[in-house]
């Protein structure tokens, strides 16, 4: 047994101790370790297991970090060194020279193979990360485009409503001097200025509409028809029944004529909800509730559900019946379009489905379009799985001051924030 204080022991310490710093200074450490191992063999010292293991481990570590050409040069140099040791000394006479060469090449080869595997893993991880980032950006762009398309569609619909009102202003202002006697020159000039301003507003609205239609796809001829109001809701119900759906319509409160904007928004919300029910819960029973309140119109559409899983918008925001929407469309969980699969929740959103998101007569973008219509009026909107099963869509559309004559000046909204019950 060799004493640790022997020359072989000193070479063993010199070839193993530097490995403590191999992670920080691999190349200098490898030079010291391999140099000490080669010196031990060339001086005829007894081959110790620690010295041999340190040399082989160092070759393996170098194979992990060196490029392929450098690894080849290291292998050639190591084989030449082993051959010189066999020719010049008898240190390795107890070990067959093929075994020594195989051990050296195996250590370097294992290191190189590990480098290839790790490099492939890093490349795959980087590619997956880039793909995820690309998909995230693409999803965000598609969602933004869907919102912008829906807003443009809503603006085109509202153009007809506003243009009609402005045209009436212009006509009445132009005819006032001829139908009203004893108008002062100042009044005549005022009516003339009103008519001129109204005509200019119509021209600007037409320009705005041309901008909105510049990048839009050609719309069907049905888009040029008069914008629907709630009096056409029974026809929409009949269309849904004709497509094989079961739907009940219930009207609560005191029905009355509302502004075209409110009625159009309510009609479109019901239309999109029925379309989603046909797509995600075909054959399910659907109930539509319209509630006329003093200061708002509440719309509630619930389907009975289907067994197939579907995609729903903001599962967390579906617990409360009504979610407050910021006018900018960026506040609250209800404004988010995070999507996750929820079993048994039909009527899921078409937030990212593009123009065909709500196939059918609506031609809108599912929950995105419903939310935008409610937000446009400063109202509330929520959608998600109903507690009693199925999928529930609720919207509350505030009425204008003129449409709320029964409300006393200075009175406040109900303490529940206008939340629809039931």
- Which band of pLDDT confidence, cut at 50, 70 and 90, is reported for residue 12? confident
pLDDT at 41 over 90: no
Which residues, 6+ apart, have CB-to-CB distance to 309 below 8 Å?
341, 342, 343, 344, 345
Measure the CA–CA gap between 61 and 111, rounded to whole angstroms. Answer: 6
Residue carrying the six token digits 């389907």: 303
pLDDT at 291 over 90: yes
- Which band of pLDDT confidence, cut at 50, 70 and 90, is reported for residue 371? confident
- How would you classify residue 389: left for phi > 0, otherwise alpha for psi between -120 and 50, otherwise beta? left
DSSP bridge pairs for 300: 289, 394
pLDDT for the residue 365:
55
pLDDT for the residue 332:
32
pLDDT for the residue 289:
93
Secondary structure (3-state) at 1: coil
* 317 neighbors 336 (Cβ within 8 angstroms): yes
Q: What is the secondary structure of 352-420 as a DSSP string?
A: TSGGGTTTTTT-S-THHHHHHHHHHTT-EEEEEE-TTSSEEEEEEEEPPGGG-TTSPTT----TT-SPP
pLDDT digits (tens, 9 = 90+) for 226-239: 678 888 888 888 88
pLDDT at 345 over 50: no
- CA 235 from centre of chain: 36
- Which band of pLDDT confidence, cut at 50, 70 and 90, is reported for residue 299? very high
Mean pLDDT highest for which of 160-174, 195-209, 369-383?
A: 369-383
Q: Are strands 339-342 and 310-313 parallel, antiparallel or unpaired?
A: antiparallel
Least Cα distance to 302 among 281, 279, 323 occurs for 281
Which residues, 6+ apart, have CB-to-CB distance to 354 below 8 Å?
142, 145, 146, 365
Choice among 243-247, 304-308, 327-331 with the minimum mean pLDDT: 327-331
- Per-residue pLDDT, averaged over 293-308, amounts to 83
How many beta carbons lie within 10 A of that of residue 349, not counting itself?
A: 29
Selected residue with higher pLDDT from 1 and 241: 241
pLDDT for the residue 292:
92
How many beta carbons lie within 10 A of that of residue 336, not counting itself?
A: 14
Report the mean per-residue pLDDT for the chain. 74
- pLDDT above 70 covers a percentage of the chain that reads 74
Choice among 86-95, 233-242, 297-306, 322-331 with the minimum mean pLDDT: 322-331
- Per-residue pLDDT, averaged over 376-384, amounts to 89
- Which band of pLDDT confidence, cut at 50, 70 and 90, is reported for residue 301? very high
pLDDT digits (tens, 9 = 90+) for 175-199: 888 778 777 888 888 888 888 888 8
pLDDT digits (tens, 9 = 90+) for 400-422: 644 443 443 333 333 333 333 33
DSSP bridge pairs for 288: 249, 301
Selected residue with higher pLDDT from 327 and 22: 22
In the DSSP assignment, the letter for residue 89 is: -
- Which band of pLDDT confidence, cut at 50, 70 and 90, is reported for residue 261? confident
- Per-residue pLDDT, averaged over 340-363, amounts to 36
Selected residue with higher pLDDT from 132 and 314: 132
pLDDT at 70 over 90: no
- Which band of pLDDT confidence, cut at 50, 70 and 90, is reported for residue 290? very high
Selected residue with higher pLDDT from 265 and 410: 265
Choice among 147-151, 202-206, 301-305, 321-325 with the minimum mean pLDDT: 321-325
In the DSSP assignment, the letter for residue 18 is: G
């Amino acid at each position: 047994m060799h004493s640790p204080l022997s020359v072989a022991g000193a070479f063993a310490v010199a070839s193993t101790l530097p490995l403590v710093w191999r992670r920080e200074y691999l190349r200098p450490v490898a030079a010291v370790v391999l140099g000490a191992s080669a010196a031990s063999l060339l001086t005829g010292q007894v081959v110790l297991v620690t010295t041999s293991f340190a040399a082989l481990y160092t070759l393996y570590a170098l194979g992990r970090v060196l490029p392929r050409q450098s690894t080849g040069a290291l292998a050639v140099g190591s084989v030449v060194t082993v051959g010189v040791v066999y020719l010049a000394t008898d240190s390795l006479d107890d070990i067959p020279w093929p075994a020594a060469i195989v051990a050296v090449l195996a250590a370097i080869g294992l290191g190189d193979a590990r480098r290839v595997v790790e490099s492939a893993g890093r490349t795959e991880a980087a590619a997956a990360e880039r793909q995820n980032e690309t998909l995230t950006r693409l999803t965000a762009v598609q969602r933004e485009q869907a919102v912008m398309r829906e807003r443009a569609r809503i603006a085109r619909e509202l153009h007809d409503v506003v243009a009609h009102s402005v045209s009436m202003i212009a006509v009445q202002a132009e005819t006032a001097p001829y139908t009203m006697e004893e108008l002062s020159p100042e009044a005549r000039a005022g009516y003339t200025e009103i008519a001129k301003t109204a005509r200019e507003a119509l021209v600007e609205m037409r320009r705005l509409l041309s901008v909105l239609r510049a990048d839009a796809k050609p719309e069907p001829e049905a888009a040029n028809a008069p914008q629907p109001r709630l009096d056409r809701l029974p026809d929409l119900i009949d269309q849904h029944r004709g497509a094989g759906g079961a739907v009940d319509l219930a009207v609560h409160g005191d029905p009355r004529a509302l502004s075209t904007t409110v009625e159009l928004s309510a009609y479109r919300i019901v239309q999109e909800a029925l379309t989603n029910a046909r797509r995600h819960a075909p054959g399910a029973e659907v109930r539509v509730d319209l509630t006329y309140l003093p200061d708002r119109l509440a719309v509630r559409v619930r389907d009975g559900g289907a067994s197939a899983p579907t995609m729903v918008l903001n599962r967390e925001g579906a617990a409360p019946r009504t979610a407050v929407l910021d006018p900018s469309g960026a506040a609250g969980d209800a404004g988010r379009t995070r999507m996750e699969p929820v079993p048994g929740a039909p009527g899921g959103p078409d937030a990212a489905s593009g123009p065909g998101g709500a196939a059918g007569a609506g031609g809108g973008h599912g929950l995105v379009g419903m939310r935008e219509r409610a937000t446009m009026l400063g109202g509330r909107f929520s959608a998600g799985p109903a507690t009693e099963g199925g999928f529930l869509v609720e919207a509350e559309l505030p009425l204008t001051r003129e449409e709320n004559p029964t409300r006393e000046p200075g009175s406040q909204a109900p303490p529940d924030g206008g939340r629809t019950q039931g």
